[in-house]
């Protein structure tokens, strides 16, 4: 309801037509004169200003120069595709926490640093799954290059990655991960060969340099395992799984070992036992040890790629 004093300031547009019934609805409109106050008309908090009229300031604030002015907010991130994708994924995680996993620590997941040893079929799949769980810091380790048989099975690669001899898988996977999930993902590719039992080195005229390279790879791998909160072991050969599991135990880093064959798969856990993690967080000495990859195996580590037929070496067809 409009007060009488307020309506006196309005002019009925329909009056120009003489009758409200013949103006085609224009008579229902109101015309008002608006007076915009000047800056000196406002009642500022500054004692130096003594206004004659006491308008309260709404929508304007004193800036750093103690002068009234507008404030601006950059809303561009709200329409950024990467920001919207991150928001949608975070919403999925919050819904999962609310409906099924009340103990899920979404913030902790976003701060985890995860190391993926292997950037092949398993490495690509695990990386994308980790993104879905909110992990934003992922490092790939691989020494292979992308071949033309890879893109159909390994979801982070395309045909362009196979050209000119192929990009290094670790580097290509890291770049693709940023393309998939946006620039807020911290992804790195490390080109490194994991030293393996049964694979000789140090022979020939370049033996000294080769031995020095292997030592450097061991030191680099150890540093990477130590720097990350969790490790996923996703390599091709059995013998490549020995050294990382030993390092995981030495550095008290949880390691998930996964292997995939034609008609079989394997998942094992290495590094500290769950009771060891509990003990570390609760200042307790009650813990157990988990063995390396070959501790419960009757076959010693050896070169599984030597003197093998193509189907026995292929990671798709072998068991």
Q: Give me the active site residues, please.
A: 314
Closest C-alpha to 23, from 14, 32, 11: 14
Closest C-alpha to 123, from 103, 143, 96: 143
Q: Are 261 and 273 in contact (CB under 8 A)?
A: no
Q: Give 14's DSSP letter.
A: G
Strand partners, 296: none
Closest C-alpha to 236, from 211, 261, 202, 219: 261
Q: Are 57 and 43 in contact (CB under 8 A)?
A: yes
Handedness of CA 251, 108, 189, 233 (dihedral sign): positive
User: At 258, which helix (H) or strand (E)?
Assistant: strand 255-260
Q: Which residue has the tokens 């034609």?
A: 262
- CB atoms under 10 Å from CB of 307, counted, come to 7
Using alpha carbons, list the distances in angstroms from residue 246 to 123, 173, 295: 20, 26, 10
Q: Are 251 and 235 in contact (CB under 8 A)?
A: no
Q: Which residues contact 54 (CB under 8 A, 6 or more apart)?
A: 43
Query: 186-190 and 265-270: which strand pairing?
Result: unpaired
Establish how many alpha carbons lie within 13 A of residue 179's alpha carbon, considering only the half-sphere containing its beta carbon.
10
- Strand arrangement of the beta sheet that strand 255-260 belongs to: 186-190, 137-141, 113-117, 230-233, 255-260, 265-270
């Amino acid at each position: 309801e409009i007060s009488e004093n307020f309506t006196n300031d309005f002019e009925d547009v329909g009056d120009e037509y003489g009758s409200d019934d013949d103006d085609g609805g224009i008579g229902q409109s109101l015309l008002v004169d608006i007076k915009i106050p000047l800056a000196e008309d406002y009642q500022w908090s500054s004692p130096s200003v003594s206004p004659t009229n006491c308008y309260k300031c709404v929508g304007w604030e004193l800036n750093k120069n103690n002068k009234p002015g507008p404030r601006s907010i950059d809303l561009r991130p709200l329409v950024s595709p990467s920001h919207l994708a991150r928001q949608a994924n975070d919403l999925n995680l919050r819904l999962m926490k609310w409906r099924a996993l009340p103990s899920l620590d979404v913030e902790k997941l976003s701060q985890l640093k995860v190391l993926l040893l292997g950037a092949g079929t398993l490495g690509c799949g695990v990386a994308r799954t980790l993104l879905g769980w909110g992990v934003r810091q992922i490092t790939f380790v691989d020494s292979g290059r992308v071949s033309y048989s890879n893109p159909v099975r390994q979801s982070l690669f395309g045909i362009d990655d196979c050209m000119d001899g192929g990009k290094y898988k670790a580097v290509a996977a890291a770049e693709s991960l940023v393309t998939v999930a946006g620039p807020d993902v911290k992804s790195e590719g490390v080109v490194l060969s994991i030293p393996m039992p049964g694979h000789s080195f140090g022979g020939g005229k370049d033996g000294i340099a080769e031995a020095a390279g292997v030592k450097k790879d061991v030191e680099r791998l150890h540093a990477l395992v130590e720097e990350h909160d969790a490790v996923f072991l996703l390599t091709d050969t059995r013998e490549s799984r020995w050294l990382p599991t030993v390092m995981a135990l030495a550095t008290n880093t949880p390691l998930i070992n996964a292997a995939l064959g034609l008609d079989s798969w394997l998942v094992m856990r290495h590094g500290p036992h769950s009771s060891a993690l509990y003990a570390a967080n609760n200042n307790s000495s009650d813990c157990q040890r988990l063995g390396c990859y070959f501790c419960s195996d009757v076959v010693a580590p050896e070169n599984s790629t030597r003197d093998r037929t193509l189907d026995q070496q292929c990671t798709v067809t072998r068991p």
